[in-house]
Structure 1
Amino acid sequence: MILIRPATTSDLPALFAYLGDQLAENGREGVLFQPLAPTLDGVPPAMRERFATGMATPVGQPGWRHVWIAIDAAGAIAGHIDLRARPEPACSHRTLLGMGVRHDVRRVGLGTRLVQEALAWARARGFAWVDLEVLSQNHKARALYVRSGFVETGEVPDLYRIGGVSVGEVSMSVRLG
C-alpha cells in the first residue's frame, strides 16, 4: 500500500534524493518528462531553492508551493505532486501542477491518486483552475491528465532543443467547481 501525505520541510532531503533519481531517468526509453538533458548531478540548486522557499511560503502569497509525497511500504518516496503559485499577480485564482512517479510503480494508478489529491485540495481552497505544462511527446502523462479532466489549451512546437532534439510543450487546464 502506498500512502499519500503532504510533505514537510523535514522531507526535503528525501524529496531531493527522489527528484535527483527522477532527473537521472529523464529520457529513459526515449521519453523526456522534464525540459532538461538527463543528469546524474542531482537536483539543481535553483530547483532546491524553489521547493524549499515555496513550501515555507503560505498559500496565497507569491511563490507558495504545496507538495504531497507518496510513500511506499519501505518508507521510500514513490511519487510526488505539487501545486504552486502562478508567477503572474493577476492569476491567484489559478495554480500550476507538477508531478512525477517512480518508474517501478508507474501504471498502477498512483498518478491518478496523486492528481485526485491535488485537485481536491485546490477545489477546497477555492481555486478556479489548475494548469500544467507537459512535453508534447510524453503521451502517457498527457493521457493521465485527460483521464483526470484536463483539456489541452495549446501547444508550442519546438519550444526546447534537448540533446539536439526538438521538443514541444502542451498546456493543459482543468476547471474546478
Structure 2
Amino acid sequence: MRIVEAKRSDLEYFFEYIGAQLLENADDDSPLFQPISKENCLVSEQFKAKFRDGFEYSLGEPGWRKLWVIKDSNERVVGHIDLRHYSEEYKFHRVLLGMGVDSSLRKQGLGVKLIESVIQFCNKTSSIDWLDLNVLSNNLPAKNLYLKCGFEAVGEMSDCYRIEAEAVSETTMTLCTKNYA
C-alpha cells in the first residue's frame, strides 16, 4: 500500500472507490459517515465536477482541492484524504479535510498515515495554519481516529441534518498545523 498525491488520471479510480464507500453509507449495520439519505448514496456528477475542477486551481485560489489516495498493489484506490479551500473570504489560512478508507482495511493504521501525510503537507505550506473537519457525531470510530491524531472537538450541532426522518448531529473538529511556541 502506498499513499500518493492524486493526479487527474486517478480520478476515475477514485470515483469507483467513493461509489463503493457510499454504498456502505446505506448499510443499516454501520453508522452514517455522510449526511445523505440511503437512496442518494451515489457519486453524482456534481461531486465529480468539484474534484475535477479542483485540479484547475492553484493552492489558495477559491475552488482548489488536493487529493491523496492509497493504492494497493494492483493500483486500486482503497483510501483517500482531501483538502479543500473554504468558499468564504478571509478563511484562506484554514482548510477542510475529508477522508475515508475501504472498510476491509480499517483499523490497520491507514487513516493515521493519511492524516500524517496531510499534516506534513500543511506544515510545508506556509499559508495553511488549520485543518478543520466535520464528522457525524454518531460515527465514533472516525471521531476517535481524529482525536488520536490530535484534533480537538470544538463544537457539536445537534439535529444538524434530518436524514430519513431521524435527527443527525455533527461535530466540528480542528487541528493547528503550526507550532506557535
Report deviation, 1:40.
Answer: 7.3
1:97 to 1:10, Cα distance in 2 relative to 1, 3 A = same
In structure 1, the residue corresponding to 2:79 is in which secondary structure? strand
Counterpart in 2 of 1:75? 75
The amino acid across from 1:10 in the alignment is S
Question: How far does residue 56 in structure 1 lie from its aligned partner after superposition?
Answer: 2.1
- Measured against aligned partners, the alpha-carbon deviations of 1:68-116 in whole angstroms (never above 9, x if no partner) come to 0000122211100001101111000111100010010001000000010
- Count of aligned residue pairs for this structure pair: 176
Relative to the length of structure 2, the TM-score reads 0.93
**Distance apart, 1:57 and its partner CA:** 1.2
Secondary structure, counterpart of 1:48 in structure 2:
helix
Percent sequence identity over aligned pairs: 38
Q: Deviations over 1:134-164 (max 9, x none)?
A: 0000001000001111000110011111122
Is the CA contact 2:25–2:41 (under 8 Å) kept in the aligned structure 1? no
Q: Is the 8 A contact 1:3 1:72 kept in 2?
A: yes
1:162-173 equivalence runs, <5 A: 162-173=163-174
Contact 2:62–2:87 under 8 Å retained in 1: yes
Whole-Å separation in 1 of the counterparts to 2:90 and 2:26? 35
The aligned counterpart of 1:143 is 144
Whole-angstrom CA distance in 2 between matches of 1:44 and 1:27: 15
Q: For the Cα contact (< 8 Å) 1:27–1:33, is it kept in 2?
A: no
User: Any conservation in 2 of the 1:156–1:170 contact (CA below 8 Å)?
Assistant: yes
Q: In terms of mean alpha carbon deviation, does 25-34 or 45-54 score higher?
A: 25-34
Which aligned segments of 4 or more residues in structure 1 are displaced greater than 6 angstroms? none
1:8 paired residue number: 7
Q: Which runs of 5+ in 1 are unaligned?
A: none
Determine if contact 2:13/2:77 at 8 Å carries over to the other structure.
yes
For 2:110 and 2:26, locate their aligned partners in 1 and report how far apart those are by CA, in whole Å: 21
Distance 1:156 1:169 in 2: 5
The answer on whether the counterparts of 1:20 and 1:40 sit within 8 Å (CA) in structure 2 is no
Given the alignment of the two structures, is residue 94 of structure 1 paired with residue 80 of structure 2, yes or no? no
Q: Distance in 1 between matches of 2:173 and 2:81?
A: 16
Q: What is the alpha-carbon distance in structure 2 between the residues aligned to residue 50 and residue 141 of structure 1?
A: 24
* 1:30, distance to aligned residue in structure 2 (A): 3.2
- CA 18–43 in structure 1, closer or farther in 2 if over 3 Å, else same: same
